[in-house]
Amino acid sequence: MKINIYYGGRGIMGDPTQTVLKRFQDVLDELNVKVERYNLYEERRSITSLPNTLYDADGVILASTVEWYGIGGYMYEFLDACWLYGNKEKIAKIYMCPIVMSTTYGERDGKVTLQSAWDMLGGIPLDGLSGYVEDGVAFELNMDYMAVIEKKAENFYRIISQKRVVLPASSQAVKQMVTSMDPMNLTPQETEQLSKYVSDENYVQTQKEDIKELSSRFKTLMQNNAASEEDMIIAAFKKHFRPVRDYRATFKFMIKKMSAPLSLEIDGEKMRIEYRDNPSPQILCKISQEKMNDIISGRRSFQHSFMYGDMQIKGDFTMYRMLDQIFPFTEHE
């Protein structure tokens, strides 16, 4: 069994939806379910291709957080992509569990929105889970709430395992009318021409070799670009290093798509930076390559990146705030 999680929140610290998803995933892991998670805020440039990830899924969890109004733009964009590019025959067999938590108001409306959207796509929406959270820490420590979440995860697993049948809905008739398309009609000459290409082994083999060569060139180009990006980041840190007396800290930057974590050690006037795994940093930072480039080019500071949810940190926040003073990328030269 395989379940995909699509998280439509911003990934900020204290998001109650993340707490619910973690407990859900822990239960599914214990049940030996293969779980794959997609954070839509990290995949926003490739959301239109995410419907392809539904092909091998038995169930999906659509999760979002209502911070002020509605389920958020990332989730709407993903659902639009499913409508435009998704395989409706495959979606029709997929059970969907909506999870919508709110820090303001509207969690139930958000859950209904996800259920209605999945129903219109032709899938199988389930009851799901919604709730209002005022204090994220108190919510996470409440064992009664956690028990409710665990039971909901177990029930989701049972429904998929037993392939429970649900009654049809009128939205399916609407979907068929809206998505009805005329078949592609080819003339006898066009059909013959296509058949000739397909049956020509030399032509097919040539096409395969060309594709293989192009793929090899593209892979090499991507590797070279990645290496140059890594060197550029280290060079920028070294160029803008402004040591602060008696400041000591170790950082580990998990930069998406980089070959290894970026380890940064500062000891007063000395700095050591390299790509290697540091198992015990004082501050752990997670960021995309694009957002790291925004920082080192001076378009955004470390503090702003954290406040806007572009960087997740774990550790001593006071030490993290010193980064903008030690590495003043935003200064004009």
What's the pLDDT tens digit per position in 189-199?
A: 554 455 455 55
DSSP 182: P
Number of domains making up the chain: 3
- Is the domain of 264 the same as that of 316? yes
- Is the domain of 261 the same as that of 316? yes
**Is the pLDDT assigned to residue 100 strictly greater than 90?**
yes
The contacts of residue 242 (CB under 8 Å, 6+ apart) are 325, 326, 327, 328
- Is the domain of 224 the same as that of 253? no
Which pLDDT score is estimated for 172?
60
Per-residue pLDDT, averaged over 309-324, amounts to: 87
The contacts of residue 67 (CB under 8 Å, 6+ apart) are 10, 103, 104
**CA–CA gap between residue 250 and residue 319 (Å, rounded):** 9
Which pLDDT score is estimated for 326?
93
| CATH number for 87 | 3.40.50.360
- Is the domain of 192 the same as that of 74? no
This prediction's pTM:
0.53
Which pLDDT score is estimated for 212?
73
pLDDT in tens, 138-190: 999 999 999 999 999 999 999 999 988 877 776 665 555 555 444 445 555 55
- Is the domain of 105 the same as that of 213? no
For 144, the domain range is 2-173
